[in-house]
Structure 1
Amino acid sequence: MASPFGHNHHHHHGREDEFPPPPHDGRGEVHHAAHGGFYPEPPAVHHVSHDGSQPIRPYRDNDEIGGNRETYKIYCRADPELCLSIRHGQLILARSNPSDPHQHLYKEEKYSTRVKDDEGLPSFALVNKGTGQAIKHASAATKPVQLTEYKPDHLDESILWTESKDTGDNYKAIRMVNNISLNFDAFHGDKDHGGVQDGTTIVNWEWTKGDNQRWKIVPYYY
């Protein structure tokens, strides 16, 4: 398959285990609820940690982008010590550093009841605290995900994602809302290519059951 940078690489992923992925076909329809009336933002949802530890106090911010909102970190099963961050204009994996605002994301669920994937799962946007940018769908399969300015009052399906059902140990696939066959993928993060590392690029890739495609979105805590 083609590399996201224009080079040809043979892309092998992690182990093939028994957990089935979310998608069942190619491009799915996006389901919209009725479009009349005013849609208030849903109340903040408090999530319980899935890592066995009891949460103490959510990390909250009062900045212009997120308001008084929880921030989240996102990491994959291939290495929970690496989490999503922005570096040099790209979404990558970086060594976990809670003091780095580029590793904090807001989970914006403003349109969750209006836009759902073809399995009926609610959508959300992921907005980086450090840059104010939303994570945008890749231009094509195997290409890097993109970043774009987040406009909270503008409905843009290209920045909306959904989480699959549990694929094991509470890890889930993160898929395009309008094409659940394409998932967050830590590029060449499988064991055959040496695994994920600091600087690994995030692309959209078809489901291969690899640990580099299984993610957790968890709140940051003090």
Structure 2
Amino acid sequence: MRRHHHHHPHPRPHRHHHVHPPPVIHVSVPTPPIVRHTPAVTTVVHHHDTLADRPSVRLYCRARPDLSLTVRDGYVVLASSVPSDPYQHWVKDDKYSNRVRDDEGFPAFSLVNKATGQAIKHPIAPAHPVHLLHYNPDLLDESILWTESHELGDTYKAIRTVNNVRLNLEALHEGFLHGGVHDGTKVGVKDWTAGDNQRWRITYYCKTLSLLS
């Protein structure tokens, strides 16, 4: 009978059942993150498409009307005006103009580059270049909102940050001894000096040029 007890190691076969849990643990969950990434990409493309259908505007300052605001190497700069260059085409989006106004009561707007889909963002401090931020029209972000002043003469206006009208969009330069405003001059904000490099025009391109963008 003792020998029979040695032949009853049936509990050992049960240990083979413990090999089955690894397949159960094999059920990993990397699928949900992949599914969530797909709609995000679709949304970005949709916003870019809506910008492409909007009329294009050109921005330039009184100091050099032959230069247009553009995006170059990740910076907002002035460049020789080329109407067919999509990087010189902007959208003036006034979606939040009825909800957001500056201290003087002027409505807010965003300036969005058609080629990149990025909006001009306030710089970290005065005299620093402005930044570029991916534009989400459904997100109210004051850091990309600007306002225009009353006319300063010859239909030029100051463009100010919505939350501080003392900070004006300016073509930054080191003075006329260093060439003044030129092709490649970066754009930032400074206190008002009444200089021609702080006086701006926003004008619409004709429809035929907009179709090229």
TM over 0.5: yes
Residue identity over aligned pairs, in percent, reads 56
The answer to whether residue 120 in structure 2 is matched with residue 135 in structure 1 is yes
CA displacement, residues 134-187 of structure 1 (integer Å, 9 cap, x when unaligned)? 000011111110000000100000000000111111100100000010111101
1:87: which partner in 2? Answer: 72
Please report the RMSD computed on the Cα atoms of aligned residues, expressed in angstroms: 1.5
The answer to whether residue 149 in structure 2 is matched with residue 164 in structure 1 is yes
Give the direction of change, closer, same or farther, for the CA distance of 1:199–1:67 in structure 2 (3 Å limit): closer
Give the direction of change, closer, same or farther, for the CA distance of 1:96–1:175 in structure 2 (3 Å limit): same
Give the direction of change, closer, same or farther, for the CA distance of 1:152–1:99 in structure 2 (3 Å limit): same
Matches of residues 54-203 of structure 1 in structure 2 within 5 Å? 64-188=49-173, 190-203=175-188
Q: How does the TM-score come out when normalised to structure 2?
A: 0.73
Q: How does the TM-score come out when normalised to structure 1?
A: 0.70
Which has the larger Rg? 2
User: Amino acid of the residue matched to residue 203 of structure 1?
Assistant: G
Count of residues paired in the alignment: 161
Instruction: Structure 2 unaligned segments of length 5 or more: list them.
Output: 1-46, 209-213
Paired with 1:63 and 1:128, the residues of 2 have a C-alpha distance of: 10
User: Relative contact order: is structure 1 or structure 2 higher (C-alpha 8 Å, sep ≥ 6)?
Assistant: 1
Q: Is the 8 A contact 1:189 1:200 kept in 2?
A: no
Moved over 3 A (4+): 189-193
Q: Secondary structure at the match of 1:158?
A: helix
**1:98 Cα deviation after fit:** 1.1
Paired with 1:63 and 1:143, the residues of 2 have a C-alpha distance of: 28
User: Amino acid of the residue matched to residue 109 of structure 2?
Assistant: F
Give the direction of change, closer, same or farther, for the CA distance of 1:87–1:203 in structure 2 (3 Å limit): same
The answer to whether residue 178 in structure 2 is matched with residue 205 in structure 1 is no
Q: Looking at secondary structure, tell me which structure has more strand per residue.
A: 1
CA displacement, residues 168-214 of structure 1 (integer Å, 9 cap, x when unaligned)? 11100100000010111101175354221110000111110100000
